[in-house]
Chain A
């Protein structure tokens, strides 16, 4: 059943990619360029395909739930793919409010990227440790993910706004930072490519090394080690010999993965620039030609307005209730808790700046981008780098 469910996830992933093509077609289709509200045929097929993908992923979710006996949100793979699904769900909801295919063109790639990223982590069905054995697992985790996903739609909207509004005829801070954000997405893609390639070729390199407690330990790399662990010794033959050795307090394997992601990101980025002969954002700009900036601004703001209460409920209130039951206290300054608080404070600041200081448009779009970076930081870095009570989510 687990294998069957995985097929549904894969199908969903493919359908999202097909959906992107149709939404792209919807925008390029000149025959309906009269800008009237009703979406054209391409957009209609696009949303149908997206909904089909969403339902397929929902089937994956349900089947996996039945197979494992618990809500499949208990490890990084499961949580991340669920987050991707929630993002698609949030997009579908907002699509029916605003009927903008362009939002699909930006949201679906982000969602597909998130799902692909999550799929790079161990996909085994993991048994639940005692702390997770509670019905609050699915209540807290799913509500939080849905809240974050709705907030993430504002990132897609912010990106559209910036691609359209930032002046690409001359170099500026805005053009630079916009490229940095896009580079971040491209690096994630690089990570997916690199991980998939070496997983397909079954690459493995085992090391003996000395850990930070001074004890001998072993580490298994699944991608070639550019940086090796402290006082490493490669135990496999014919494997790439690391170029650099790291101090013991740094996790060499994770650093190695980051280096590979960035390097492959740079290769992809340079390649794209060479083909396009202009900034990535400049290449995207024509797609945003027909969109009304006010509308995009409104979509971004609306998704923050809708997502903020959901996130508060899941990420703070449900979290506190469960923490009181499982960990004896509703709040304990665990890194994940703190970063949930930071996310919440950030969006609170966003809303105040918007309401009272009139931060609309471009400023608001940048804030939406930063908010998404904080959410991603909480998902990726806090799980993998800053260890805490929540770090089981990484295994």
Chain B
């Protein structure tokens, strides 16, 4: 590769604009400018140097800040589109999504659905945008951080005159630098935490160089964060299950491969009470009506002992009791169980009596477990009831026949066969809530409803997310980087003897106002002019 040898003797990589060592302007075009462009120290960036092969072109595309900003803006606008109407995951699952959007929001809703905006954030093009931004983060950072590092490491104390006078902050003083003055300035600079280097009586004072790495550190953090996001697609990294549990019920926790079981001892639902709760809440409760205070599942966690064959009842060992509330998940072995939903007073058992219609005599109790009904109930003395069919969530289907919508006993219905001493072949009766049908003609007996037992049901989300540590690490690195870059400024001051004059120049990557104030205090009463802003005169009124 053709390197550039500067007059000062330093060998710079091809494409360098300002000599890494002395700061001489190497590029012809730069020489005409009043001020040198100090971004990235005039170092040789790959993207500014090569543009021949396809790789060069891709590299140059993604290393451009302009492209990066456009990606950010497009992502920003795209993200906002997804908030016009709710995303599919937030709509009630009562009907097909397409119908829902049309019904709720008219033709706009339909268009929204047809364009796929109801699942915008998982659409291929949205993910592609994020991927492009990720690539841009990597390439743009590499393109800059490597040459910048070279430049800042190779810089020497005595910078060339052409470099100094083309700094934004620059001054020339016709004065001599006495040893006393030098000591005083150096002292002040040290107090302000500058690191001082000297060479032939010239001075370079520099501080907070590390803040120049801030942007690259935070970009690295973002890249790690995005990698963490991608990691979710690796099998086994992420579990998202739901566990519905009735009071008194014990079930295996999904996702744990039957290792852990959970028992719901009780589900508690509380609202704020005007009488009992803090007086200050009274007005608010009066206005709103009810405000929920607590959703809580009192649970017992069990661990399975030894190996079991499928179907065999596992032997469980209690691990601990815990109340699961919103904001207080139960955690075990990388899994967390969150309180997310509930159903109060779900029917659990239904009780009936067998009654002789004429005499009103009643025989026995039939208590049907709606989740696991027994088929035969012997009431003694020759009275017997058989459950011929059970429909937990009863409806008449399209053919007009009884059917069930789900396994949940929302609307239980039964076909009973009643055996009595006077009707030994049995009578058939169809019993649903508030209706009885006798399909085979009038019966002598009927099943009468004798109460229902209800239970609360809790829903817990079972979550395992092995990507969290990487996401968290990315976030942490990002924060470190962004604070590093934002809360400190890289400042440099050059003092150089040129013949009988003293030249001073200064540079900062941001917060020029702060630099000016600092320099003013350092050079006050020294007989040397502090570097002055060469840009500011024409802007002041």
Contact = CB atoms under 8 A, between A and B. Distances in A.
Given A130-B295, A352-B69, A356-B65, A124 B86 contact: no
Contacts of A293: 539-540
A356 B509 CA distance: 11
A338 B80 contact: yes
A341 B79 contact: yes
Contacts of A136: 327
Interface in B62-84: 65-66, 68-69, 72-73, 75-76, 79-80, 82-84
A133 interface: yes
Given A293-B539, A305-B486, A349-B69, A338 B83 contact: yes
B287 A133 contact: no
Contact of A122 (B284, B294, B327, B539): B284
B494 interface: no
Contacts of B39: 355-356
A312 B482 contact: yes
Interface string A347-360: 01100110111000
B329 interface: yes
A127 interface: yes
A333 B87 contact: yes
A249 B106 contact: yes
Give the interface size bracket for A toward B. Answer: 35 or more
B281 A130 contact: no
B287 A124 contact: yes
A382 B536 contact: no
Given A308-B486, A345-B72, A129 B513 contact: no
Give the interface size bracket for B toward A. Answer: 35 or more
Contacts of B80: 338-339, 342
B511 interface: yes
A342 B76 contact: yes
Contact of A125 (B121, B280, B326): B280
Given A127-B272, A294-B539, A309 B82 contact: no
A333 B121 CA distance: 8
Contacts of A68: 278, 280-281
A301 B508 CA distance: 15
Among A295, A309, A339, which residue has the most Cβ atoms of chain B within 10 A?
Answer: A309
A328 B294 CA distance: 17
Contacts of A124: 281, 283-284, 287
Contact of A352 (B65, B84, B89): B65
Among B272, B284, B540, which residue has the most Cβ atoms of chain A within 10 A?
Answer: B284
B267 interface: no
Contacts of B84: 386
B124 interface: no
Interface stretch (A176-184, A259-267, A319-327): A319-327
A309 B483 contact: yes
Given A122-B287, A309-B483, A357-B65, A325 B327 contact: yes
Contact of B292 (A2, A130, A134): A130
B262 to A, nearest CB: 16
Given A249-B104, A338-B83, A326 B66 contact: no
A69 interface: yes
B210 interface: no
A278 interface: no
A349 B76 contact: yes
B536 A294 contact: yes
A98 B513 contact: yes
A10 interface: no
A335 B80 CA distance: 8
A12 B86 CA distance: 39
A60 B215 CA distance: 40
A298 interface: yes
A95 interface: no
B510 interface: yes
Among A130, A133, A308, which residue has the most Cβ atoms of chain B within 10 A?
Answer: A130
B281 A126 contact: yes
Contacts of A301: 510
Given A249-B104, A298-B511, A325-B329, A342 B285 contact: no
B320 interface: no
Contacts of B463: 328-329
Contact of B461 (A98, A328, A355): A328
B289 to A, nearest CB: 11
B82 A338 contact: yes
Contacts of B327: 130-131, 133-134, 136, 325-326
A388 interface: yes
A326 B68 CA distance: 34
B68 A352 contact: yes
Given A130-B327, A312-B479, A330-B468, A395 B293 contact: no
Given A68-B280, A127-B278, A317-B479, A302 B511 contact: yes
A346 interface: yes
A67 interface: yes
Interface string B460-488: 01010100100100010011001100110
Contacts of A335: 83, 86
Contacts of A302: 511
B80 to A, nearest CB: 6
Contact of A127 (B75, B293, B513, B539): B293
A212 interface: yes
A235 interface: no
B291 interface: yes
A283 interface: no
16 contacts: A125-B281, A125-B283, A126-B284, A126-B288, A127-B284, A130-B326, A130-B339, A294-B539, A309-B486, A324-B468, A330-B468, A338-B79, A338-B82, A348-B72, A353-B69, A382-B83
Interface of A: 1-2, 67-69, 98, 122, 124-127, 129-131, 133-134, 136, 212, 249, 289, 292-295, 298, 301-302, 305-306, 308-309, 312-313, 316-317, 320, 324-330, 332-335, 338-339, 341-342, 345-346, 348-349, 352-353, 355-357, 382, 386-388, 395
* 5 nearest A-B pairs in the assembled complex, by CB-CB distance: A130-B326, A356-B65, A124-B284, A124-B283, A335-B83
Interface of B: 39, 65-66, 68-69, 72-73, 75-76, 79-80, 82-84, 86-87, 89-90, 104-106, 121, 272, 277-278, 280-281, 283-285, 287-288, 291-295, 325-327, 329, 336, 338-340, 461, 463, 465, 468, 471, 475, 478-479, 482-483, 486-487, 510-513, 536, 539-541
